[in-house]
Structure formats: structure tokens, C-alpha cells
Structure 1
Amino acid sequence: MMTPFSALDWRAMSRQDRDLGLNNGAAVAGSAELVAGWEQRSAEMRQRYPDHIDLGYGPRERNRMDFLKAGEGAPTLLFIHGGYWQARAKEVFTVVAEGPMAHGINVALIGYTLAPDATLDEIVAEIHAGIDFLAKQLPALGAGADGIVVSGWSAGGHLTSMALSHPFVRAGMAISGIYDLEPIRHSYLNDKLGLDEAMSRRNSPMAEAGGPIKPLSLVVGSAELPLLRRQTADFAGHRARYGLPVTYEEIPGADHFTIMNEMMSPKGRITTLIRQLLERTAG
């Protein structure tokens, strides 16, 4: 029987149980092989779209962005990769562009400096700097210049929610994200992140009284770790309480990794939600 969200209190857990409750790699057998498959397919896709790879938006090594053009004057989606702010890279995730591009949506993928080389404050600032850069570049790239939709997976879901406040962002599509950083601060993940209470609170959308009045779609897999499912459900409730536009869905049977199939596929549920966000916010 599934544990109800109301019974999930990370504060009452032992450190070991809390660490396990946040460890997606340990929870999903074969996840490393699955991600390796993404990386291979992504490399092949970048070879098909080589014209705008590794555009520099800032001074640091990972301040780079890839832009895959679907069509002249097309709208653009910006994707932010996951890895608990301390692992992975944009190059692993190019394959997620397949679903949106099949519907004429350009896809940009942003890299950012990882912890411990950057604090979470700095990572959030890099995402905003990347959006500044993209906003200026879209006309030259032949893309529509009336704002973007931002999406991200896992830690990228968190960064998506933090990017909503940028004036060039029209809407967000957050996948299996983290919206309250306090459980992270009290887990193994903080060894590299180095969050203190103040940094945790100012980077937790759940700690904000309100939030940006822009549409946000939240999805999580029904087979994901309960603590992560609760993060998404609680954040949906938080936005609803403040009257902010939000949708919430659990993808049936999806775990933290297989949920990305819903973006890689032109017929996937996440691809459909992205299309709906772009249509809803069209100028």
C-alpha cells in the first residue's frame, strides 16, 4: 500500500532513510545505462544540428548553450538539465529536443557551473544570465523573439521554477523537481551544495509568499520516490493557494528517468504540455 503524502515527514526520518529517499540513482535499477543511452542519442542529434553549439553566455567553462533550430520564426523552449545541481551536463540531454522539434519548436539547452564550484545562488544567477543572452540572440538565430518557455528535469525543475521570474520567460514546464530545499540541506546532497538555512530559503519556491503570475505545468512520475512526488504535489498546492496558474500531473508508471520519454516522444505527455503552454502564452 502506498504511503499517503500526509505521513511523509522528512524531519522524522533518520539521515540514512532521508538520503535513500532522495537517491534516484539507487532507486531505479539500470538508470546509469539509461542515461548512457540518452548521451549517445544526444551526440548523434548534435551532429545533425551543428550550427549553434556551445554558444558562450558567460565567462565560466560551463556557461555554454546549444540551440537547435526547428524553423524560421519558431518559438523556443529552453531546457535545464538535472543532476542535483552537482552532476551531468547539457550534452546528455540533447535528445529531449526530439519531441518539441517534431512540432516546430526550437530547443535551447543551457549548461551551468556545478556545485561545489558554484553556490546555488550563483547557479540560479547563471540561468538568468543565460536567458538574458538567449533573448538577445533569438532574432539573429531566426527564432521568434516574443519570449520563451523554460523546462527542466530534477534539479532543472527547480531551476525552471526559479527562472519564471525572468521577464523574458512566458511559462514553465517543471519535471520531477525540488521546490523545498530544506530536505536537501539535511541530506548527503549538501556535502557539495553547502546550503545554509538562508540560502536554502531564498532558493526555495515553497518558502516564497506567492510567486510569478505565469503558467507553470508540474509533472512527476507515479513510480518516483515518495519524497519527490510530495515535492511536486506540495508545490502545486502552494501555487494554487496563492492563485497562481498551475497544472499538476503524475505520469502513470513513470520513474525519475523513464518520465523523460514523455518529452523525447513527439506524442509524449510532456511534449503536449509544452505545446499547450506555448499556445496559451502566444502574443
Structure 2
Amino acid sequence: MLYQVKDWDDAYANGIHIPRGEDFPAQWEAAAAAFRATARREELSSGDLFLPDTTPKGLAVFIHGGFWMRTSPAAWSHLAAGPLARGWAVAMPAYTLAPRARISQMTREVAAAVTSAAERIPGPLAITGHSAGGHLAARMICDDGTLPDAVAARVRCCLPISPLGDLRPMMRTAMNDTLAIGDAEAAAESPVLLAPCADIPVTTWVGAAERPEFIRQARLLADIWAGLGAATDCVIEPGRHHYDIIEPLTLPDSPMTRTLLA
């Protein structure tokens, strides 16, 4: 069957295609606030660092989504619960949102936050993120010096969730009135157009009930990077949509959390 996108705005619209999608933001904020009330938390230069009760086994990084225009780490704090329960520290970087910043600036800001957190927490690194945060998670391990060599060498897994690895379709949406992505930035900031660092396993993860474009993007990143020598996998989880695909990170023994920290 031929696949063709004719309405690019609808292709990347999530909430209107999810039953009671409008209820999820309030649920996330409530869960995050409850988690923050009891968690051991320190401030990063931008964002939060959550600490386990014992010496951390390593550092997990979660980068929030919102199409590079919305939300903040505070709305996603509860997603640190799974890695924390397994003894890992969890960094949740903040970054300046569009239109105040271009995506290239967001990449630099997140890389600086990851580097700062890595200086405080020794051991292996595991990087994940959701949607636009999935793009930034993949962007962290591109072989172009985004992360310092010593930090990149510590990364043991990259797990982009519902990632937007190719920015060029975003240029066809109304969101680009705010994002202002041009051809040069799309070429420089799309992970699918860049090479990954060597020896970092990459698993893209997406819900089978997501919009077809998110599934295509997840497959695309895994397939292209496999062709460049990376060890990759693409998990399409049955029954999950764009808003609940991240919930397994709250659980220490979920397949997603285990894959991230493997």
C-alpha cells in the first residue's frame, strides 16, 4: 500500500488522535509534583538531578519533549523513578524553547547540561528522551563533537523514544512558523543525516498506536544508523500511543528501563 502524507500538521498531531488526550498534561504534572515532593533532588546549571539513596551506579539522562516549544523538566520528574529504583542518578536537562532559541542552540545547551551532570556523577551514562527530546537524545551521540570525547566514551546506551530524527518534515508544518528551521539547520541538526559515535548501542522505541510518521521516524533512525555501523534496534510497542509510551520509565523492571540501563 502506498504511503503519502498530504496533511503535515495532522501527521504530527498527537492529542486529537488519543482518547482523552487532553487529560494527560494534568496527569503528568500531578505525578511529577508528587515525585518531586519526596525525591532527593539537586539543581543542575539548567534542570534537575535526582539521586538514589546509595552511591549511584551511573547517570541516566532524560530529555523532555514538547516539539522544542513547550514544557520543562519539572513536568516529567516522575519518569526518573525507574532508573532511580535501580540505583542510577537521573539528570533532566532544561533548554531554552523556541522561538527564543533555535534547535542548534538547544543541542548545545543540552550537551552542556549532560557534561555538567557527568562531572558530578561518575560511571556509565545512558541517554534517553521523548519526541523532540528523542531528537536531542540522538543528537547527543552524533559523531560531530556535540559531547566532549571523554563524556561520549562513557555512554553505554542511547534510547530515543518516539524520536524526530529527521527535521525536514517539520519544515512543512505550521510549527515551523515558530521553529524557523531552514535547510542548513535541518542538515546540521537531523541525526539521520549525521553519523553516530562508534560503539554506542541505539534502541529507538515507539508505540504501535502512534501516528504513522512517528513510527516511520523511529524506524528511519534505527535503519540509517545501522547502515553506518551502529548496533541498533527499533521496538514498536503494541497498544502504546505517543502520550503513554514513556510510562514504563517509572518502573524499575520494565523492558524500557532495563534496555536503557543494560
Post-superposition Cα deviations, 1:174-228, rounded to whole Å, max 9, x if no partner, equal 10010111110111121110011110111111122x3222111110000000011
Post-superposition Cα deviations, 1:219-275, rounded to whole Å, max 9, x if no partner, equal 000000001100011111101111211111101110001111221122322112112
Post-superposition Cα deviations, 1:114-157, rounded to whole Å, max 9, x if no partner, equal 0000001100110111122112222xxxxxx1341111001000
Q: How far apart, in 1, do the equivalents of 2:169 and 2:127 lie?
A: 25
Residue range with higher mean Cα deviation, 229-238 or 21-30: 21-30
Matches within 5 A, 1:99-178: 99-138=82-121, 145-165=122-142, 166=147, 167=149, 168-169=151-152, 170=155, 171-178=157-164
Q: How far apart, in 1, do the equivalents of 2:10 and 2:107 lie?
A: 26
Moved over 3 A (4+): none
Q: Would you say how many aligned residue pairs link Structure 1 and Structure 2?
A: 251
Give the conservation status (yes or no) of the 8 Å contact 1:116–1:193: yes
SS at 2:245 equivalent: helix
Letter of the structure 2 residue corresponding to residue 241 of structure 1: G
Residue range with higher mean Cα deviation, 197-206 or 68-77: 68-77
Give the conservation status (yes or no) of the 8 Å contact 1:75–1:105: yes
SS at 1:234 equivalent: helix
The residue that corresponds to 1:84 in the other structure is 67
User: How many Å apart are 1:99 and its aligned residue?
Assistant: 1.4
Residue range with higher mean Cα deviation, 38-47 or 152-161: 38-47
1:96 equivalent to 2:82? Answer no
Candidates 186, 189, 201, aligned match of 1:203 = 189
SS at 1:78 equivalent: strand
Q: How far apart, in 2, do the equivalents of 1:136 and 1:249 lie?
A: 31
1:66 equivalent to 2:43? Answer no
The residue that corresponds to 1:260 in the other structure is 246
Give the conservation status (yes or no) of the 8 Å contact 1:218–1:232: yes
SS at 1:77 equivalent: strand
- % of aligned pairs identical? 27
1:37 equivalent to 2:27? Answer yes
Matches within 5 A, 1:229-268: 229-268=215-254
The residue that corresponds to 1:212 in the other structure is 197
Give the conservation status (yes or no) of the 8 Å contact 2:41–2:48: no
Give the conservation status (yes or no) of the 8 Å contact 2:44–2:113: no
TM-score normalised to the size of structure 2? 0.91
Structure 2 residue runs of 5 or longer lacking an equivalent are none
The residue that corresponds to 1:193 in the other structure is 179
Candidates 196, 213, 236, aligned match of 1:227 = 213
Q: How far apart, in 2, do the equivalents of 1:73 and 1:182 lie?
A: 39
Post-superposition Cα deviations, 1:73-126, rounded to whole Å, max 9, x if no partner, equal 421101100000000110110011111112112111111100000001100110
